[in-house]
């Protein structure tokens, strides 16, 4: 029977292996931190039609135009 000898890794090889494992797990931790941040952040509210119309109204009012003027501008285009 042929006797198998154990291949011994040097200290540098073991350190490199450990550093690779640390890097791998840090990347996974960063990914989990991003997921946690996303869960904890408040959800952004989607604009409704009313919100958009209110913005148009406020912009028209700020520029000194009436809603009839804005409606006339929209119809001409």
pLDDT tens digits, residue range 58-70? 888 888 888 788 7
Contact 60, 70 (CB under 8 A): yes
* pLDDT digit string, tens, across residues 37-54: 999 988 888 888 898 888
* pLDDT digit string, tens, across residues 16-34: 999 999 999 999 999 999 9
Instruction: Give the span between the Cα atoms of 56 and 50, in whole angstroms.
Output: 10
27's CB contacts (< 8 A; 6+ apart) are: none
Q: Is the pTM of this model over 0.85?
A: no
Contact 67, 57 (CB under 8 A): yes
Instruction: Give the span between the Cα atoms of 51 and 41, in whole angstroms.
Output: 22
Of 49, 48, 53, 45, the closest CA to residue 70 belongs to 53
């Amino acid at each position: 029977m042929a006797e198998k000898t154990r291949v011994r890794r040097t200290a540098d090889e073991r350190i490199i292996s450990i550093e690779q494992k640390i890097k791998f797990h840090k990347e996974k931790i960063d990914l989990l931190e991003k997921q946690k941040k996303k869960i904890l952040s408040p959800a952004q509210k989607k604009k409704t039609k009313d919100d958009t119309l209110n913005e148009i109204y406020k912009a028209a009012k700020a520029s000194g135009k009436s809603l009839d003027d804005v409606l006339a501008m929209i119809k001409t285009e």
